[in-house]
Amino acid sequence: MRKILIVGAGQAGLQLALGLQSHGYDVTVMTNRTAAEVRDGRVLSTQCMFNTSLGHERELGINFWEDAAPKVEGLGVSVSGPGAERVIDWVGELDGYGQSVDQRIKMAGWLETFAQRGGQVVIHGVAVSDLDYFARTYDLVLVAAGKGELVSMFGRDASRSPYDAPQRALSVAYVHGLGPRPEHDFKAVRCNLVPGVGELFVIPALTISGACDILFWEGIPGGPLDVFGDVKDPAEHLRLTLELMKTFTPWEYDRARGGVELTDAGGTLAGRYAPVVRNPIGELPSGGLVLGVADVVVANDPITGQGSNNAAKCAAVYLDAILAHGDKPFDRDFMQAAFDRYWENAQHVTKWTNAMLAPPPEHVLNLIGAAGQLPAVAHRFANGFDNPADFENWFYDPEKAGAFLASVAPPQP
């Protein structure tokens, strides 16, 4: 039986561990927190997973919260004008629903399931010196912990990383009590664009205390949304979140007038990081090799909501690659080939995300505006969140954008 070590217990690490376990591999997961510590801690992310990524969980039978989590059936975009009025507002329906499950619930539950099924869980912080030993005792070591010392083993790929500094200051609040959007009677992620300031995303989700909404500000560094860095008090974090909504997205603030409250004391998060693509293979002092997973090697800004989706897709690709490799050694060629297969999808996410961080060119503004009059444009944009590769066919190039708009425009009398 082949022995595999996975360092990190997030979406990718645990999904891969459970998948390998189901195929009879001897898998160890190392993480620095117990399931109880994860469940009782602060929120970890703003995850919203779309149909393809949810399918990978269904295939493994680990979609434990699918019946409980709100079904996200659409994705809407609003754009704020100079007077904080909505100058664009539309929603596109998704072909398959998405869902957002608080990772405190999911990761704690998956870690417990892995252990109950006979997997070995080691609660211990891992340093590079530890991996030097483990690389000699396991057939394959995968690093799925995207922060800390271990990430330094994976060098930045400058050719795929146009930004060397954070492009957004991030702020999250999980809340109860937000009213529905009056424009539609189904759950939808709402993307509110405030030109020159940043973005507000409102995401229906499931948390420890039930259904909730995630209020997620992405602020241009140094701008009016970049005010959460020194805030430690959760109540002050929520007050600032709502105050900024009232100023910049009053139509979303109207949903909060009935009174909103944090889901729990750990329901806030703030931070920032530079988007980066790293080399997938880490070389240890002894010459041993480890393979980077998901955010370790491709860390995009969350503006396009792809972090958990990328993680699920990476885990699925790596699972297939490991199973197909049989008893052959997990050498450098295997590691590079596995990452290259993952990059076939991830490159489209990185290109799209980096494009959305920059001021939009005129043809993109035209597309976003046209979606308000042409349902086919809204539908295609919304479903690009599940299949970002499709943006290559109509979004980036002005000529392709124009051809697409012409193809869906009503005939002139």
* Tens-level pLDDT at each residue, the chain (413 residues): 899 999 999 999 999 999 999 999 999 999 999 999 999 999 999 999 999 999 999 999 999 999 999 999 999 999 999 999 999 999 999 999 999 999 999 999 999 999 999 999 999 989 898 999 999 999 999 999 967 789 989 999 999 999 999 999 999 999 999 998 887 789 999 999 999 999 999 999 999 999 999 999 999 999 999 999 999 999 999 999 999 999 999 999 999 988 999 999 999 999 999 999 999 999 999 999 999 999 999 999 999 999 999 999 999 999 999 999 999 999 999 999 999 999 999 999 999 999 999 999 999 999 999 999 999 999 999 999 999 999 999 999 999 999 999 999 987 77
From 251, 271, 291, the end of a domain falls on 271
343 in any annotated domain: yes
Nearest residue to 142 via CA among 286, 334, 299, 1: 334
300 with 386, same domain: the answer is no
Q: Find the CATH number of the domain harbouring 238.
A: 3.30.9.40
What per-residue confidence (pLDDT) applies to 81? 94
87 in any annotated domain: yes
48 in any annotated domain: no
341 with 244, same domain: the answer is no
What per-residue confidence (pLDDT) applies to 236? 98
30 with 111, same domain: the answer is yes
What per-residue confidence (pLDDT) applies to 148? 78
147 with 184, same domain: the answer is no
Residue-range definition of the domain harbouring residue 393 = 362-408
209 in any annotated domain: yes
123 with 219, same domain: the answer is no
Q: Find the CATH number of the domain harbouring 144.
A: 3.50.50.60
189 with 325, same domain: the answer is no
What per-residue confidence (pLDDT) applies to 183? 77
Tens-place pLDDT, residues 97-116 = 999 999 999 999 999 999 99
- Amino acid in the structure at residue 147: K
290 with 343, same domain: the answer is yes
47 in any annotated domain: no
49 in any annotated domain: no
Where are the strands (E) in 105-247, listed by range? 120-123, 140-143, 169-176, 188-194, 198-207, 210-219
What per-residue confidence (pLDDT) applies to 144? 97
351 with 371, same domain: the answer is no
CA pair distance 162, 152, nearest whole angstrom: 19
Torsion 177-270-30-2 (CA) sign: positive
77 with 226, same domain: the answer is yes
CA pair distance 213, 205, nearest whole angstrom: 6
Write out the two tokens for 345.
Answer: 């999808």
CA pair distance 339, 280, nearest whole angstrom: 6
Tens-place pLDDT, residues 343-353 = 999 999 999 99
115 with 7, same domain: the answer is yes
What per-residue confidence (pLDDT) applies to 138? 96
225 with 367, same domain: the answer is no
Coil, strand, or helix at residue 39?
Answer: helix
233 in any annotated domain: yes
351 with 287, same domain: the answer is yes
90 in any annotated domain: yes
Q: What is the pTM of this model?
A: 0.96
How many domains does the chain fold into? 3
From 314, 335, 357, the end of a domain falls on 357
From 226, 254, 271, the end of a domain falls on 271
